[in-house]
Amino acid sequence: MITRRKFFSVIAVWATSYGRSHANDSVTVLAPEPRADSRVADLARNLSTANLSVTAAPGYGPAQNVARLLSQRGVEVAVLPADVLDYLRRRRAQPEAAGSLRYIGQLYSAPVQVLAQQRIASVGQLAGQRVSFGPQDSVSYVTGSQLFSLLGLPVEPLLMGHSEALRRLLRRELAAIVYAGTVPERMFSDLNRQQDGVQFLPLRLTPGLSRTYLPAQLSIQDYPLLIGEGEAGIGSPVPTIAVPMLLAVYNWPLGSPAHRALSLFAAQFVRISPTALEPPGWTRFVPETASQAIAQNPVSPPGNLASEQREKLFREYENWRREQRREALFEDYLRWLQNHRP
C-alpha cells in the first residue's frame, strides 16, 4: 500500500533521476485572471530547471481557464480558485470538469474583502442590497457568488471593474464590494473609514464555509486608515475567509508527453511547497512514477482481505490520516502565528 509519506518519497527520488532522462519539457502556468501575476511569475522562475521550462502567462478568468484546460491545447497549469468546480456545478456548466481536471497543490490563498458603507454593520444586512462582485468570470465573482449562495443571502449582484465599483460605493450607489485577492489591496489602501464612510465587514468561518474556505483576517498593518484609523494599536483585526488558489491541470493519459512534463512540474512543486490540502470535489494529480508504483501495489477489494490484512491496512490508513491532520493543523498554526505576531 502506498502511504502519503511513501508517495512523496517516491516523487522526491524520482524527480532527480527523471530530470536526467527527459530534457526540454515545457509547461505554461496561466494566472487566474487576464493580467500578469507576480506569484505566478515567481513560481515559473523557481521551478524552471535545465530539464524543465516553466513560463508564466496571463489567464482568462476561472471559468475560461477551466475551458482552456479541457480543450487540451497544450501542457498548461491554471491557477484556479478551489470553489470553481462547485460554482460550475451550481450553474450546470462544463460538467466534465470535475472528472477531467486534477490539482497539484495550493499556490496561495486569496482573502475575501467585503468593503461596505458604514451604515451596514454585518454581511447579513446586505440581503436585498446592490453588491459588486467584480467583472464577470473573475475570482471575486466566482467566490462572491458562491459565498452569498452558501450564506443564503440574496443580493442584487453587479458586474463591473473594481475601480468603477469603488467609485460607485463612495457615491453611495451600491452597498458593498466583494473582492478576493491580495492583502493589502492597493485600491483600498488610501481609504479612511471615518472620512470615506466605508468599512470592512467581518466574515466568520461557519461549518458550511469551512468545507472549502480557510480562516483569514485583515489587520491594522494591512489597512491602517480603514481598520486602525491611522494610529497603531487602535482598532481590531477583521476576521474573514480566504479561497485556496490551486494549481490545476488536465488529466492527461499516463505515459503521454504532457503527463510526463506535468509529472516533473508536480515533483518540483512538491519539493518546495508540500501541502496536505484536500479541497472537496477535487482529485489530486498523481505523477508518472507514483502512478506506476500505485498500479504495481493495488489494494484488494475489502471482501477479499483476511482479518489481519484488514487490520494492518486500517492502521496504515489511521497513521496516514493522522499525519495529514497534523500537517494541516501546523499550516493553520503558521497562518495564525503570522497574523498574531506582536
Residue 251 and residue 324 in one domain: no
166: domain CATH number is 3.40.190.10
Residue 70 and residue 153 in one domain: no
**Pairwise CA distance, residues 192 & 198, whole Å:** 8
DSSP E strands: which ranges in 154-307? 156-158, 176-180, 198-200, 214-218, 238-250
Last residue of a domain, one of 278, 296, 314: 296
Report the number of distinct structural domains present in the chain: 3
**Pairwise CA distance, residues 336 & 139, whole Å:** 24
**Pairwise CA distance, residues 199 & 113, whole Å:** 10
pLDDT > 50? residue 21: no
pLDDT at 320: 56
288: domain CATH number is 3.40.190
pLDDT at 73: 87
Note if the bond before 279 is cis, omega within 30 degrees: no
Q: CA 97, 85, 111, 268 torsion: positive or negative?
A: negative
Residue 231 and residue 262 in one domain: no
- Map residue 34 onto helix, strand or coil: coil
Give the H/E segment covering residue 99: helix 97-100
**DSSP designation for 122:** S
Residue 64 and residue 113 in one domain: no
31-59 residue pLDDT tens: 999 988 999 999 999 999 988 999 999 99
Residue 88 and residue 186 in one domain: no
Residue 75 and residue 165 in one domain: no
Compute the mean pLDDT over every residue in the chain, rounded to the nearest whole number.
84
Q: What percentage of the chain carries pLDDT values higher than 90?
A: 64
**Pairwise CA distance, residues 315 & 13, whole Å:** 26
Residue 238 and residue 249 in one domain: no
Residue 36 and residue 92 in one domain: yes
pLDDT band at residue 333 under the 50/70/90 scheme: low
pLDDT at 228: 73
55-64, 190-199, 204-213, 310-319: which is most confident: 55-64
Residue 227 and residue 156 in one domain: yes
pLDDT at 305: 54
Beta-carbon-side half-sphere exposure of residue 257 (alpha carbons within 13 Å): 9
Residue 94 and residue 130 in one domain: no
Q: Supply 176's cell numbers.
A: 458593498
**DSSP designation for 74:** S
Q: Got the DSSP string for 271-294?
A: HHS------TT--B---HHHHHHH
Last residue of a domain, one of 228, 244, 260: 244
pLDDT > 90? residue 169: yes
237-291 residue pLDDT tens: 999 999 999 999 999 999 899 999 999 999 999 888 877 778 999 999 988 876 5
pLDDT at 3: 46
The parent domain of residue 134 ranges over: 109-244
Residue 136 and residue 237 in one domain: yes
Residue 156 and residue 268 in one domain: no
